Amino acid sequence: MAQNLDALLRPRSIAVIGASNRLQSLGGAVTARLLNFGYQGRFFPVNPKQPEVQGHQAYKSVLEIPEAVDLAIVIVPRDFVIPTVKQCREKGIRAVSVITAGFREVGDEGRKLEEELLEALGDMRMIGPNCMGQVNTHPEFSMDATFSPVAALPGPIAFASQSGALGVAILNVCHERSIGFSQFVSMGNKADVTENDLIEYWADDDEAPVIALYLESFSDARKFREVAEKVSARKPIVMVKAGRTDAGAKAASSHTGALAGADTAVTALCRQAGVIRADTIEDLLDISMLLSRTPLPKGGRVAVQTNAGGPAILATDAIIGEGLEIATLADETKAKLREHLPAEAAVGNPVDMIASAGPKEYAACLGDLLADDGVDAVVTIMVQPPLFSPREILDAMQPVIAAATKPVLCVFMTEAAFHQEIKEVENPPAVFRLPEAAAKTLASALTYSKWREAGRGAPVAPKMEHDAIGAILEAKKAAGGGYLNAADTFRVLEGAGLPVVPWRVADDADAAVAAAAEIGYPVVLKADSAKVVHKSDLGGVVLGIGSDEELRAAITRVSEGLAGHGVAASDVAWLLQAFRPAGKEVIVGAHRDPQCGSMVMFGLGGKFVEVLHDVQFGLAPLAPGDAQTMIESIAGLKLLTGTRGEQGVDLDVARDAIERVAALMREHKSIAELDVNPLMLRPSGEASVLVDGRIRVE
């Protein structure tokens, strides 16, 4: 159900508890900001010692206010916060925003207080504590209840920040770049209202076509995934998630009492839920700005127009570097461009209109490029024009940009003052200072656009023998857990529908010979022992055994070798497998992320895993397409699809294996971790098999 946070973000009346005449205090600063920003509702300062605050009659307590109050901003010393909130509740106030700090972020005592504060809330909703307040720039409210030294500009982005200080810094940058907000919330400790509540609330807000987030930790990662996936389908969510590195994660935990999640899980979560993950605050603003001002790109073919050569070369490099393409212009388009440009101009792509280009040339050529069916987006570059003002040129292009059904990205490499002017332009275009930023931003928008286009199907739920699998896992769990032996591992993997190579287990040489006869030579002998993790490291794998004699000899040799490593014969069982022709070895693994749930991993297997770490993660449940995306995202994909005339391998087997492992993890919670290494992939039409696996039960 959608959250109703109207009392917090669309209040008709506000009490500021702790309002003050001293502008140097937080209470004074918030009051001044609220008044100066032109709050449209009723305003009641509360201060026990002053009859008047900043020209308004003050009340000794909220209980004395003669009218109904929607929202109370609480800026009293920490020990008064809970009694104050109780009074708010008694008064029938609907929501509070607690700016006061000193709660969960300061340790155990603060954590306890925060719990008491939550209890005192009752039905009221709360932002904070330890926050910077909130903003709604809509003229019906004009509410800026923050102590930020800069006021937010009105605009289309709904923005929630976990860090108040960073929120202020962002508002500053936005001023310079003429980027505005519909609403802004500094979430503080997120004791009640979280990013998930805000996303749901903003999902239905037509004033905010884009949701931007700065997060240090998820309040509830599983819920975030669910909410974000739903909302991303109709409105973009752009996020900076801090705490990517271990050091970053520590900084995050000492900052707002948050524990940052493992980054791999976050990357997978974003990719699957359609959340656009920005690397930096600058990128966050660029992407939010672009998505709020232009249509989504339908493809990656980009046309570039420019009045100078150098920046166009940079743009070309960046466009290709981001995996986009330089569009091939139709002859018809080139002919039209010729008509609009002097003979010295170049009408290939990039279109170099040369330094003399003015309003007419920019507008006409932009129109020509947009009309070309082979163009999905246009980057228009303007270096400070010698003969015209940038504003004249922008004004001429504006109607063309406004009518466009494709994104136009303006790279204005002009004097800084011009960027400030852009906020005066009605429906401003997407503006960048450098071509690289435009290319990077467009690439993010395209990834999102494709995610949305593809849609999210129902979770993949391959058929498997759950009862048989469950029985093996239960028995192991009852015995205290740990690694399954080879036989049980393969039974579980077979039960899950994975292509396990034909196998048998045997206790001694005679039994091994009998087993080999059933499988058929050539066979592989492996020592199965709880004491041996990497079998080949200890000489525990013998490939290509062709006869009974060879097999007996191998058993003797391996036993002796293991004894030398201190592994007794009684701790070893013999695993026999059919020997199969070598393939491309891949790994499919799985583990549980404490915040996000079961995760599957795919990558190049065998030794490559340890050396290259070329792996990709996905979060269960997987939707159709997720496994394919994981496969296509590994750096070494070409090694699997075939290079230099070599035949590619059957990636459908890999996709199916990833999906089955994800489903197995999701259905059988007692599997703590699992890996299949290797799955030996062969070209399609030949049998790909899994020859080794480990499953830990907990």
**Segment interacting with ligand ADP, rule: CB under 6 A, options 40-48, 184-192, 416-424, 529-537:** 529-537
- CA–CA distance, 98 with 128 (Å, rounded to integer): 5
The residue within the footprint of ligand ADP, chosen from 277, 504, 535, 584 (CB under 6 A), is: 535
Contact yes or no for 617/265 (Cβ under 8 A): yes
Nearest residue to 626 via CA among 591, 661, 575, 676: 661
Q: Please tell me whether residue 541 binds ligand ADP under the rule CB under 6 A.
A: yes
Residue nearer to Mg ion on the CB measure, 128 or 678? 678
- With CB under 6 A as the contact rule, which of the stretches 126-134, 193-201, 371-379, 577-585 interacts with ligand ADP? 577-585
Quickly count: other Cβ atoms within 10 Å of residue 89's Cβ.
Answer: 18
Site for ligand ADP, residues 48 to 107, rule: CB under 6 A: none
Regarding 528 and contact with ligand ADP (CB under 6 A), the answer is no
Segment interacting with ligand ADP, rule: CB under 6 A, options 151-159, 200-208, 230-238, 534-542 = 534-542
Asked if 682 is part of the footprint of ligand ADP (rule: CB under 6 A), the reply reads: no
Q: Is 534 in the site for ligand ADP (CB under 6 A)?
A: yes
The total number of residues written for the chain in this structure: 698
CB of 500 to ligand ADP, least distance (A): 10
| Rounded-to-integer distance, Cα 70 and Cα 63, Å | 13
Q: Which is nearer to Mg ion, 237 or 676 (CB)?
A: 676
Give the HSE-up count for residue 283: Cα atoms under 13 Å, Cβ half-sphere: 18
Question: Binding partner of residue 606 among Mg ion, ligand ADP, none, CB under 5 to 8 Å per kind?
Answer: ligand ADP
501 makes contact with ligand ADP (CB under 6 A): yes
CA dihedral 535, 538, 544, 548 (to 10 degrees): -100
Rounded Cα distance between 100 and 114, Å, is 11
Q: Per CB under 6 A, does 522 bind ligand ADP?
A: no
670 binds, among Mg ion, ligand ADP, none (CB under 5 to 8 A by kind): none
Q: What is the Cα–Cα distance from 578 to 519, expressed in whole angstroms? A: 6
| By CB under 6 A, residue 304 contacts ligand ADP | no
Q: Which of 62, 287, 691, 695 binds ligand ADP (CB under 6 A)?
A: 691
Q: What angle do CA 398, 404, 408 make, to 5 degrees?
A: 70
Q: Which of 157, 198, 524, 657 binds ligand ADP (CB under 6 A)?
A: 524
3-state DSSP call for residue 129? Answer: coil
The least CB distance from residue 531 to ligand ADP, in Å, is 12
Partner whose footprint covers residue 10, from ligand ADP, Mg ion, none (CB < 5 to 8 Å by kind): none
Nearer to ligand ADP, 51 or 581 (CB): 581
677 binds Mg ion (CB under 5 A): yes
Q: Which does 75 bind (CB under 5 to 8 A by kind): Mg ion, ligand ADP, none?
A: none
List the structure tokens of 310: 């150098």
Q: What's the CA gap between 393 and 352, in Å, rounded?
A: 16
Is beta strand 301-306 parallel, antiparallel or unpaired with respect to 325-326?
parallel
3 state SS of 208: coil
Query: Phi/psi zone of residue 343: left (φ > 0), alpha (ψ -120 to 50 degrees), beta?
Result: alpha
Q: Whose Cβ is closer to ligand ADP: residue 470's or residue 522's? A: 522
Ranges assigned E (strand) in 445-556? 482-483, 503-506, 523-528, 541-545
> 545 near 516, Cβ under 8 Å?
yes
Please give the residue whose beta carbon sits closest to Mg ion in the complex: 692
**Do residues 401 and 429 make contact, with C-beta atoms less than 8 angstroms apart?**
yes
Judged by CB, which is closer to ligand ADP: 137, or 677? 677
Number of residues that bind Mg ion (CB under 5 A): 2
The residue among 179 and 512 lying less far from ligand ADP, judged by its C-beta, is 512
579: contact with ligand ADP by CB under 6 A: yes
Q: What are the C-alpha distances in Å from 388 to residues 10, 351, 360, 362? A: 44, 19, 11, 12
For residues 600 and 662, the answer to whether their CB atoms sit within 8 Å is: yes
Residue listed under structure tokens 């909302």: 231
634-673: which residues touch ligand ADP (CB under 6 A)? none
Q: Give the one entry of ligand ADP, Mg ion, none that residue 583 binds, where binding means its C-beta sits below a cut-off of 5 to 8 angstroms depending on kind.
A: none
Query: What residue type is 37 in one-letter code?
Result: F
User: Which 596-615 residues touch ligand ADP, going by CB under 6 A?
Assistant: 606
Say if residues 105 and 126 touch (Cβ distance below 8 Å). no
Q: Tokens for 36, please give them.
A: 């100066």
**Residues numbered 386-415 forming contacts with Mg ion, rule: CB under 5 A:** none
- Interface region with Mg ion, contact rule CB under 5 A, candidates 236-244, 439-447, 654-662, 669-677: 669-677
Which one of the spans 35-43, 171-179, 372-380, 574-582 is the region binding ligand ADP (CB under 6 A)? 574-582
Site residues (vs Mg ion, CB under 5 A): 677, 692
Site residues (vs ligand ADP, CB under 6 A): 501, 524, 526, 534-536, 541, 543, 577, 579-580, 585, 606, 678, 691-692
